[in-house]
Homo-oligomer: A and B are copies of this chain.
């Protein structure tokens, strides 16, 4: 029997509702496969600010560090939007990424046949889209020094951030990109802005060098502006995309939105060793919090990514994913993915159906 320590970060808004559904599902799968999950809850985001003044209290980071995986729901909300940046919920998220050295962010954008009509794109354009964006998560312009708002000689202010990557940072995420492509359809597209940026030139040179170690992967390069266009024009051309922190932020969200059902998309953030963080792509949706309207399926699929990438339990991951498909097959939908002829249900009822499907 396997025993795992899981830190739960329910966060803000709909976070507590959706994570409850995922925890129930994990417990059932655990029982079936003789896996024991020991859940420990901790504070992050707005709730942490309210309780301690900080979005990521040191106790939370400690908790996370000594667990096998972290399941995060969603953080943020209007209430904390006007605090100074170092006190904002997002700063807690950046702190968690840095603290756990989560340099690789895996963001799948897959479109389920059930939900194809939810896309703003034509059916024939998005049918079968299955993209994995591998985004560097602890470097680039998010963390580069110098940064800040400085005074110039003329007395005016100048805002500064630094986009920087070292060779080893590029190689590290590049390998995750190649290895991810190997497990998928064998095609990797590296995205940069090498026609303008020096940091991108170094990126492109290193990724090109790495390619010789992965002869089974077909590598291509795109400039970020062209990649954004190609995602809109013909998303099926993509298999795996590897890119830096900022470009990955933008492109993974654009790719996610192609599916039209962002309430269904999970993500995984992984380090070299130590626990990963698994969370839905969507936000904390404060406008519908506490109303039993949230879609918990991205959270459940995040738990499945935790099983697959964080705990190496692919059988359990398959079980969870299949249960999600079954609930959709049965026609149950929350409001965000509702369509004609389907049964509109709340967050809790989706949870009950999931347990039935398991």
Contact = CB atoms under 8 A, between A and B. Distances in A.
A204 to B, nearest CB: 10
Interface string A152-181: 100011111111111110000000000000
Could you say which interface size class chain A belongs to? 35 or more
A66 to B, nearest CB: 28
A90 interface: yes
A147 interface: yes
A126 to B, nearest CB: 9
A228 B201 contact: no
A257 to B, nearest CB: 4
Given A90-B195, A197-B161, A250 B232 contact: no
Nearest to A163: B161
Number of copies of this kind of chain in the complex = 2
Contacts of A160: 144, 162-164, 198-199
Contacts of A232: 120-121, 232, 254, 257-258
Contact of A168 (B156, B159, B193): B156
A254 B225 CA distance: 7
A122 interface: yes
A212 B36 CA distance: 59
B199 A161 contact: yes
B90 A196 contact: yes
Given A226-B253, A233-B257, A253-B229, A163 B149 contact: no
A219 B198 CA distance: 34
A336 B250 CA distance: 28
A163 B141 contact: yes
A300 interface: no
A112 interface: no
A202 B257 contact: no
A52 to B, nearest CB: 20
30 contacts: A90-B195, A120-B234, A121-B121, A121-B122, A122-B122, A141-B141, A141-B196, A144-B160, A147-B198, A149-B202, A156-B168, A157-B202, A158-B165, A159-B165, A159-B166, A159-B201, A160-B162, A160-B198, A161-B163, A162-B163, A163-B163, A193-B246, A193-B249, A224-B249, A225-B249, A228-B228, A228-B257, A229-B254, A233-B260, A250-B250
Given A228-B250, A232-B232, 18 more contacts: A85-B201, A90-B195, A120-B122, A120-B233, A121-B232, A147-B197, A148-B198, A149-B198, A158-B164, A159-B165, A159-B201, A162-B162, A225-B252, A228-B251, A228-B257, A232-B257, A232-B258, A250-B250
